[in-house]
Every structure is written in structure tokens, then in C-alpha cells.
Amino acid sequence: MSDSSNTLPKFDVFLSFRGLDTRRNFISFLYRELIRRNIRTFKDDKELKNGRRISPELIRAIEGSRFAVVVVSVNYAASRWCLEELVKIMDFENMGSLKVMPIFYGVDPCHVRRQIGEVAEQFKKHEGREDHEKVLSWRQALTNLASISGDCSWKWEDDSKMVEEITDRISKELMIDTTRSNGSDLEGIDAHMKALHRLLNLNSKKSVRVIGIWARGGNGRSALAKFVYQNICQHFESHCFLESVKRISQDRHLSHLHEEFMIRIQGECLSKLRLKNQKVLLVADDVNKLEQLDALAEDFNCFGPGSIVIITTQDRQLLISAGIKLVYEVELLRFQKVRGLFRQLAFKEKDISAAFEVSLYRATNVAMEWLGCICGRSG
């Protein structure tokens, strides 16, 4: 790859669609939800004119994305722009640098894969005015796309539910990729989410709930907080993810935290006064001083009913000193997960004796007691 790769635009999702069919409905809803969840999304609103090639900028946008969501609608295959774009997308997919998610919107995936019915008629027109090799590449790209398992709009009651499912899936995949690249281990993310949902209580109409996510080191707590944020922010009128509070406030007056919060908050909020009547989600990541919490409290104490503030830290005492009682301990669940996995692997062999199983059980219990002592807890 050339040096220009360093300046590639970095997107989480590249949207490929036929504007005539979906720009003002499905794509509009999907794009808004992706942006709402802080998922960086590329959406090109231009159409390729006859005789023109896809711009290098567009190719770089595809190459710089982690996912390509390809929405195949009634007139998708009629557009040389869409087909040219699809060839590039499938090239990168074939190289393993891009994950493709097909969505069949108002069309039968079987018709797309076999290129029959209306799709056949569209390709007949292409063959009458385009180079044979080019049309062949379009056909192959469309066949390859339709061979990937995707979503079909006919299986959903309405677009909003399909959009929610798609964004949930992308959010989860992105978080798994992020934790792997950061060297973090968040295996059992579903178990984490299930436990956290009990603390979050999204249906609550009571005053602001402050929840701590604690772990000693690594990126686990931050990755988990980001994943939670992306998955629940749509339930709030306004929301903000403050990355690395420790870094933001370093060598600066604590009032800078308030300024950063007001800059980064997304949604309908325009002023501190309006926050009083709003349901707000605030995630303050990597807090390391009680003074930082006090500075943020000036903002979140005025949030409306049902609001949630999530604080991540590696300092358990900080949460205790702040009087935060709802605390999720990432490391404890991770250790229990490892313990369960170890036992599962150890006893996969049928000829292991019951005596060894008992010994292993005792050994893991000793390890749990040891961890409990370090954490200041009983075994």
C-alpha cells in the first residue's frame, strides 16, 4: 500500500445504496441511527454520470472503512454507479480488509443471486451499451454479494426494527474488533451486558443514576463502557462520551471538563438550562481524581429523570469516596469466565478422572480466594 494510506479517511461503515429507491426513507433512518451511536459512517449523496469513473476519494473511503452495508433495492442493479462501487467493495472484501453486510430491500435475494426477473432486464440494458468484460465483473460482484447471508426487508414488520437490529450488530462487531486491536479481552460480552442492564434500569423514571465501572488496568473497562454507550444512547434525548477524563483535565482548570462536555454532547441539548428537563446519558471514561467527579457533578446533577451517568476508573476507592454504590467489577466477571473456560477445556477429555476434577475445583477456589484478598474482598 502506498504512503497515501496514512491519509485515508477512517470510517466504521460505508453505505452503498441507490438513492432513487432508499435515500429519503431507509438510508435516512439507518444513517441517522449510526451517527447517533457515534459510528463513523460514509454516505455519498452523488450519482455517477454516464462515462465517469468512481473518484479516487470514494475508493479511499471504501478502503478506509471497516464495514460496507450494501442496500440492494429494486433499481440498484440498474445503476452503473452502484455496480462499479460494488465491484470495488467486493475486491476489498475478497482481500479480507472489509466486512460486507448485504441488505435486500424490497427484492428477493434469490433473484439477485441468480440474476433473474427484473435484475435480468436491467443487465440486458447494460449489455447493450457497456463493455462485455465490465458487465461480467458487475454480474460476478452481484452474485458474490448475494451469496453472503444478509437481511431481507420482507422479514421485518417495519424499517425501524430492522435499523435497530443492524446498528446493534455493527456496534457489537466494532467493539469486538476494537478490543482485539487494543489487546483487551472482553469475551462473554453478552454476560457483561446482561449484568450491566440490571444496574442501568433503562425504564427508570427516577432521578439521575450514577454507575461505576471498575477494573485495575488495561482497556477492558473503557472498551466495555464504549460498547454500552453505543448500545443504549438511542434511549436518551442527549448523550455524551467523554473519552479519557484524566487526559482532558491534565494541567488544565477543572472548568475545562464542563466546556468539553458541552462541546461533545449530542442530541437536542442547547444549554444547561434545557438539560433539567432531558433524559441524558453521560459516560466519563478513565476518571482518576475525585475533583474531576465533583466538576462533572455540577453538570449531571441537573439532568432530568431517567438520566444515567457512567464513571469508569481503575481506582476502586475513588468510587467509594464519591458515594457511588452501583459498581460493576469487570475483572471479577472476567476471572470467573476464565475459570469456567479452564474447567470446560480440562474436562473435554472423557478419560479424566473424578479425582482430578475435584483437585482442579479446589485449586480454582484457592485462586478465587487469592483474588478476593487482593481486591479487599473475602473469597
Pair 100, 90: CB distance under 8 Å: yes
User: Which stretches of the chain are assigned E, i.e. beta strand?
Assistant: 11-16, 41-43, 65-72, 99-104, 151-152, 209-214, 238-242, 266-267, 280-284, 308-313, 326-329
Which residue bears the cell 473435554? Answer: 348
d(CA 21, CA 111): 18
Pair 141, 83: CB distance under 8 Å: yes
d(CA 142, CA 4): 29
Catalytic residue among 33, 84, 85, 260: 85
Cβ neighbours for 359, distance < 8 A, ≥ 6 positions apart: none
Is position 259 annotated as part of the catalytic site?
A: no
Q: Is 272 left (phi over 0), alpha (psi -120 to 50) or beta?
A: alpha
Pair 229, 331: CB distance under 8 Å: no
Q: What are the residue numbers of the active site?
A: 85
